[in-house]
Amino acid sequence: MSSVLYDAQGPRAKRRNIIFTVVFVVAMAALLWWVFGTLNDKGQLEWVLWKPFFSGTEAWSTYIWPGLENTLKAAALAVVIALPLGAVLGIARLSDHVWVRVPATIVVEFFRSIPVLVLMIFGLALFAEYTNVSSDDRPLYAVVTGLVLYNASVLAEIVRSGILSLPKGQGEGAMAIGLRKGQVMRLILLPQAVTAMLPAIVSQLVVILKDTALGGAVLTFPELLASANTMSGYYGANVIASFTVVAVIYIALNFLLTSFASWLERRLRRAKKSTGAVLRADDVETADAGTGGKV
């Protein structure tokens, strides 16, 4: 194998690789041994603590599924509301009119530079003070509000760079055949931009899904993480076991989404009909120098 960093390996390099591998294996084995030993000392490997997840459905039906349902509900609501909002803001940022462009830019840059947790805490107090949403629903409303405010501005950037990623000739050609500005955007640019930015939107879903966990930890929103916390209390403080199960669920969900995003990206790059403009799934923020939000 040859890469930009090193050439195809000769016998000496191969021997060195074997030494590195052995050293690495020994180090990892020592680390694993230590972790295993600590877990064992604290009695965290007892079957009683792990049993609820493997035998019987009580843990799943009482804690995990309802929690997962809330996580997915908050994420889905946030996406559904944030997408149109983001599209409007993104298009507004490309407007020819200063009085549309500048406010949209300020809104997007402002909400992108604030932590989503701050927006959620703000949302919780806002609903408590100015609306009569019942206190049971308030955490959900607050989580969705925070996620929408933040992700609408991130999606606005995705929409903007999606439209900008199209070849100039598309817009110019549409103008040349006499379409109005709105028609150019609606009939020519947006439909192509949507395909170009699909992978980026799907991988933004991962960010949204991960951020719902904040609601559980800080706002008492009963999502997956919060219910895992309650669960570990119920099953005799099996923190290690229940966090492992929850982490595996998050990893599986997000891995599915990430794989779907990169599959979409590959597929769109192969497609012959399109202009070939595709926004990469993993780094929209590199398209401009503003405040990134993928992490």
Partner 1 sequence: MFDFVNDYDLLGAFWTTVQLAVLSAVGSLIWGTALAAMRVGPVPLMRGFGTAYVNTVRNIPLTVIILFTSLGLNQTLGVSLGANDVESINFRLAVLGLILYTSSFVCEALRSGINTVPVGQAEAARALGLSFTQVLSNVVLPQAFRSSVVPMANVLIALIKNTTVAAAIGVAEAALLMKEMIENEAQLLLISTVIALGFVILTLPTGLILGWVGKKVAVKR
Are the C-beta atoms of 196 and 165 separated by less than 8 Å? yes
Nearer to partner 1, 53 or 184 (CB): 53
Nearer to partner 1, 35 or 271 (CB): 35
**Is residue 70 within the footprint of partner 1 (CB under 8 A)?**
no
CA dist 244 and 248 (Å) reads 6
- Which amino acid does the sequence have at 129? E
Of the ranges 24-32, 58-66, 169-177, 188-196, which one interacts with partner 1 (CB under 8 A)?
24-32
Give the contact letters, 243-282, x = binds to partner 1 (CB under 8 A), - = no.
x--xx--xx-xxx--x-----------------------x
Are the C-beta atoms of 294 and 284 separated by less than 8 Å? yes
Reference 86, options 143, 154, 144; nearest CA is 154
Of the ranges 37-45, 79-87, 181-189, 271-279, which one interacts with partner 1 (CB under 8 A)?
37-45
Are the C-beta atoms of 268 and 151 separated by less than 8 Å? no
3-state secondary structure of 170: helix
**Is residue 103 within the footprint of partner 1 (CB under 8 A)?**
no
**Is residue 46 within the footprint of partner 1 (CB under 8 A)?**
no
- Which amino acid does the sequence have at 225? L
Residue 63 CB, nearest approach to partner 1 (Å) = 15
Number of residues that bind partner 1 (CB under 8 A): 69
Return the sign of the alpha-carbon dihedral for residues 85, 87, 88, 92.
positive
Give the contact letters, 136-155, x = binds to partner 1 (CB under 8 A), - = no.
--------------------
Among the listed residues 76, 88, 94, 114, the single contact to partner 1 using CB under 8 A:
114
Return the sign of the alpha-carbon dihedral for residues 224, 230, 235, 239.
positive
Residue 22 CB, nearest approach to partner 1 (Å) = 10
Q: Tell me the CA distances in angstroms from 45 to 31, 38, 40, 101, one per residue in order.
A: 17, 10, 6, 58
Of the ranges 92-100, 109-117, 140-148, 161-169, which one interacts with partner 1 (CB under 8 A)?
109-117
Two structure tokens written together for 241: 């076991």
A 10 A CB-CB count for 66 gives: 15
Of the ranges 54-62, 140-148, 266-274, 287-295, which one interacts with partner 1 (CB under 8 A)?
287-295
**Is residue 132 within the footprint of partner 1 (CB under 8 A)?**
no
A 10 A CB-CB count for 83 gives: 18
CA dist 256 and 276 (Å) reads 25
**Is residue 29 within the footprint of partner 1 (CB under 8 A)?**
no
- Which amino acid does the sequence have at 210? K
Interface positions with partner 1 (CB under 8 A):
1-7, 9, 13, 17, 20-21, 24-25, 28, 38-39, 42, 44, 109-110, 113-118, 121-122, 125-126, 129, 206, 209-214, 216-218, 225, 229, 232, 237, 239-240, 243, 246-247, 250-251, 253-255, 258, 282-283, 285-286, 288-295
